[in-house]
Amino acid sequence: MANRLPNRHLNKERLVTSSIVLKIGASINRVPKQPIFIVGTGRNGSTLLVKILGSHSELISFPGEANQLWHPKLFPDDKAEIEVPPIEVDPQYFTKVSLDNWPPEHPNKIRHTFSGYYAIWGKGRIFVLKSAMISFMIPKILDVFPDARFIHIYRSGPSVIESYFKKNFGKYSHFSCSEEEYRLICARYWNSCIMEIERVKENMPLQSEQAFFELSYEELCVSPKKLLDQLTRYFDLEDGDFDFDISQIESRNYKVGDYMADDKWQECLVAMEPALKLKGYI
């Protein structure tokens, strides 16, 4: 008997973690063509970007970040089978441990999950997924999805650090540090993430194959219409079909204040200097 498609009105977050989507994907085995992966540090405006993209009739975004698929033995933190420091502490090591411990045939599970979801809700649309925990595994993603494309959204380092601090400080029961230490950890993470994505850009033919689009959160807030026009061309979509009220967009960067003149930021600014210079923040 053929697989029956689940009710489309079921909660998507719950459905994508069920065996239903996986079974449908395995039976169809047809991954979305040229899937789009949104990468970056996290706390960088990627959620806002996904909301905007999801308002277009030809774009379908995967619910959540699928981190239980990208890091099956390490995520979520309270159910991790392998104990490692949080990704902010050493993202290269965290990613290596995760990839080294992927179960056999795990790439097929990822493909089948996305295939099943796309079969239910895609209808030929462009598939988009964002995650703050895949920026150090872009080469692996290209192994799994050779025609993948990427969007990198970045944001001023101090704003990212402050947002990370408010959300995650004290979250990890097995990892403790002072407020100053955690801010410095996040500063180093922000710099590493920006520089890793730059390294991938330089060493892989992403830009030459129109597979890479980069934008800043600040640009999105200041000139949303201009940026949406650029994304329309990147996606090869019809003009003016984003059903999102761009008047709602406003920058939240003011919350960090004048960090250049604040002594508490000086050590973090030193740690972030290479990427701050690269992206024109200093």
Cα 183 from Cα 70, distance rounded (Å): 26
Residue 3: which pLDDT band, with cuts at 50, 70 and 90?
Answer: very low
Residue 249: which pLDDT band, with cuts at 50, 70 and 90?
Answer: very high
CB-based contacts of 219, cutoff 8 Å, min separation 6? 227
Token readout for 212 is 């890479």
| pLDDT value at 9 more than 50 | no
Determine, yes or no, domain membership for 19.
Answer: yes
Determine, yes or no, domain membership for 62.
Answer: yes
Residue 17: which pLDDT band, with cuts at 50, 70 and 90?
Answer: low
Q: Give the lowest-confidence range in 59-73, 100-114, 237-251.
A: 237-251
Query: Domain of 142: which CATH number?
Result: 3.40.50
What's the structural domain count of the chain?
1
pLDDT of 5: 44
Determine, yes or no, domain membership for 195.
Answer: no
pLDDT per residue as tens digits for the range 255-265? 788 888 989 89
The mean per-residue pLDDT over the stretch 212-239 comes to: 92
pLDDT of 173: 54
The mean per-residue pLDDT over the stretch 67-92 comes to: 93
Determine, yes or no, domain membership for 167.
Answer: no
Question: Which three-class secondary structure state does DSSP give residue 202?
Answer: helix
Q: Give the lowest-confidence range in 90-104, 139-153, 185-199, 242-256.
A: 242-256
Q: In this structure, how many other beta carbons lie within 10 angstroms of the beta carbon of residue 154?
A: 26
pLDDT per residue as tens digits for the range 190-212? 999 999 999 998 887 766 667 89
| pLDDT value at 175 more than 80 | no
* 111 neighbors 33 (Cβ within 8 angstroms): no
| pLDDT, the chain, mean | 88
pLDDT per residue as tens digits for the range 45-54? 999 999 999 9
Q: Give the lowest-confidence range in 155-159, 230-234, 273-277.
A: 230-234
Determine, yes or no, domain membership for 256.
Answer: no
pLDDT of 30: 80
Determine, yes or no, domain membership for 3.
Answer: no
Cα 38 from Cα 163, distance rounded (Å): 19
Determine, yes or no, domain membership for 56.
Answer: yes
The mean per-residue pLDDT over the stretch 229-237 comes to: 90
Cα 156 from Cα 159, distance rounded (Å): 6
Determine, yes or no, domain membership for 178.
Answer: no
Question: Which three-class secondary structure state does DSSP give residue 106?
Answer: helix
CB-based contacts of 186, cutoff 8 Å, min separation 6? 88, 160, 161, 164, 165, 268
Regarding predicted confidence, which is higher, 174 or 177? Answer: 177
Q: In this structure, how many other beta carbons lie within 10 angstroms of the beta carbon of residue 4?
A: 8
pLDDT of 171: 76
Q: How many CA atoms lie within 13 A of 263 on its CB side?
A: 0
Residue 176: which pLDDT band, with cuts at 50, 70 and 90?
Answer: confident
Residue 14: which pLDDT band, with cuts at 50, 70 and 90?
Answer: low
Cα 230 from Cα 67, distance rounded (Å): 29
Residue 6: which pLDDT band, with cuts at 50, 70 and 90?
Answer: very low
Residues spanned by the domain of 90: 12-157+204-251
